[in-house]
Structure 1
Amino acid sequence: MNARPVDAAPYLTLKLAHALFKKAPSALSDEERLRVADVAERQCIIEMRLLGTPEAAGVILREDAIAHALAEIRARFTSDAEYHADLALNGLVHETLREAIIRDLKVEVVLEKVGSRAAPVDDTEVEIFYLMHPERFTAPETRTLRHILLTINDEMANSDRASVWTRISDIRERLLRAPERFNEQALKHSECPTAMNGGLLGELPRGKLFPEIDQVAFALAEGELSAIVESPMGFHLLRCDAIKGGSGLIPLASVRERIRQHISDGRHRTAQKAWLAALLRTR
């Protein structure tokens, strides 16, 4: 299979323009066009040599796979007229595009064959990876938080700093006496849109809130009401409804197959790169 039925460069140009720049080839800048041309040239050489290998012999593609790939390209255009006009602009018609896609899919199949030669990942390798990378498998601590916000506005009556401090202090005193009233007090007094949902901020990890709030929120015990906290938005009262995670490593059993797939994918890519490098050296 040393000769190809049609020139692959027009299709590769179309494909790479979209992959690299999310553009039609006609919309590329001069610099982008040069980049696409350079990559397409190298891809053509690799494709030609790859499709001439024994691994490529006998590859049979399913018609539905070809149709799906064609449909993905067609979906980038708003009409058949735009689709055919763009193909013509790039030296293609529907039939030559189909042939180019067939070659493209054969390349994928061959590379998958080559990658599948990599050694399977055994349980010991999975366990070593798990122990060597504990930071990847630590469940972050999250907290379900509610808040009441009062904003400061010196130009509005009863909204100057001193008045707002007095108002939020009174709310806190009420909540210390009757914690179950938090949702009611949030709905009645909070000046944040979350007031409509009892002040619920949601289940959050560290780093999603203002630093001043974050520090206090992640020091609260479950069910605890905070002291008054000031942020750039104003004065807050926080309550921690629930605490999750932060208890150490996720059990190996929960991530074993994910780790196995990660290692396997890396081996497949390494095998493919080595095979391609050897192919280019020997031709």
Structure 2
Amino acid sequence: MQEQTIKINGKAISHFDFINAMQSYAMEMFHKTVDQLTAEETEQVQEIAIERIIARELIFQQALAEGVVPGDEEVNKETTKVMANFPSPEEFYATLEKAGIDRDSYYRMIRQDLSINMMTEKITSSAPEPSEEEIKAFYDANPDKMHKPTQVRASHILVKATDENREEAKTKIADVEQQVKAGDLSFGALAKEHSVCPSKEKGGDLGFFGPGSMVKEFEKVAFSLKPGETSDIVETPFGYHLIQVTDRQEEVLLSYDEVKPQIITFLKEQTGAKLLHEWVEKLKQKAEITFDN
């Protein structure tokens, strides 16, 4: 990937920030890391990353101009929340160090994120509540969206595979598959022992999920299984899986009253997003944005 510098009103976006954005949107759009993307997918992700980086920086610059900035207490609270996902504060800071991020830089990143969120909320909160007529019209016009899609509940065992250990990983998952078939230990017990997914702590249980929640290879197999059935070995970009479906909820039609709160939220968010987009476009028109390869 060719390195380029984006400058927004004289502020340069680092290549580090650009690559981080690429990784985030690659996972969001395709459930893949950047190095797993096809050339076409890479181009799509790159376009989105550039567009959103510019929008984020413009929002942040405007937030600073208007004094929409979180205090130290809010920054520390958000940092504590993130830190809770790590075994200890020491491991959290060690992880930052491995990523090349010192404490001051991390606090600046958190402050920027919070400022952007606060400024975004300031703009979108002016969106009006939809009328009863608008809500009912949306319900009537979108019958295909008024269903709760089929969901499955599944557990899995993941053996991570890389180019360096692929044969070893194949051998290991095949051995685990034989243990599942033997039935001496439960699927959950084997997941706790062999899986590298965080879900191993819950016996591999991923809970209920619907279409689009998992990578396509995993999803296709999971939705083809009946409760109680276990898959053959499934390969995804993350490695090799064994999947066991434990429950299934078929698609159901939802009544107007059931979905009305969600429709209100959706319509208001839609209006808010339109307001934000129009506001950012005005900022873009006034901004000086350059690209240097």
> Taking structure 2 as the reference length, what is the TM-score of the superposition?
0.44
Structure having greater relative contact order (Cα 8 Å, sep ≥ 6): 2
> Taking structure 1 as the reference length, what is the TM-score of the superposition?
0.46
Is the strand fraction higher in 1 or 2? 2
